[in-house]
Amino acid sequence: MKRTPLQLIAPLLALAMALGLMLQVRTYAAQDDSAPFHARVRQLVDRIPVQIGHWSGTDGKIPAAAGKILKPNTQFCRHYRHDTTGRQVTMLLVHCRDSRDMTGHYPPVCYPGHGWLMIGEPQHRTMRLFDMDVPFAVYQFSRSDVSRTIQCIIYNFFVLPKGGLVTGMSDVVSASADYRTRPYGAAQVQVIFDAGTPEAERTEALGELLAPFGPVIDSLHVKDEGPKP
């Protein structure tokens, strides 16, 4: 039985749509050359100074298990000590190659998994840094052993390729669903204080220690025309 022209329209349209989708995906794949982007991020992270004002840094290590899960493009862990007051602050930055690897990995999940107890609900703060308003989710954790109890306060935010700076994991999950920006990954920044550090000192330290991170934060944003050179 011969098909009429009208009967051929539906399969022809389906074939055209499939071809169009295939070409669109190939176009995005061709445009996705994220290797220079990732290399640039690594270069800028490597340039974060060991000495920041009166703060002297000592390199630390992010747990190997976390590295395997996050599959980082680059990771940064440094303990800074104030030359005068002796206060200590730990700075962490992890940038994943694929934003999906970041989903689910943030203080409310990771720290309890390593024996820490979260105290209360996270607080939210905003500071003016990098010529923008930077949001922080502020967590407090406690952990006890045989001889003592230690507490820490963590200031946390994420950097998304097109989503800017956020504190919610739901924003990271949403960003990971976009296959156009997914190859540019996502970053997480943590600033960790001893819980005994007064808030005014924490605020001052955040301004001083995060200032050199500005070029890194800027490089993590992907504009409509593509990543920064």
CB 76 within 8 Å of CB 45 = yes
Structure tokens at 168: 């919610």
Q: Is the CB of residue 221 less than 8 Å from the CB of residue 162?
A: yes
Q: What are the sequence ranges of the domains in the chain? A: 1-31, 34-227
- Tell me what pLDDT residue 42 has: 97
Over the stretch 66-115, which tens digit does the pLDDT of each residue have?
Answer: 666 788 999 999 999 999 999 999 999 999 999 999 988 999 999 998 89
**Where residue 224 falls among pLDDT bands split at 50, 70, 90?**
low
How far, in Å, CA of 135 to CA of 119, rounded? 20
**Coil/strand/helix, residue 162:** coil
List helix spans (H) across 105-213: 107-110, 169-176, 199-210
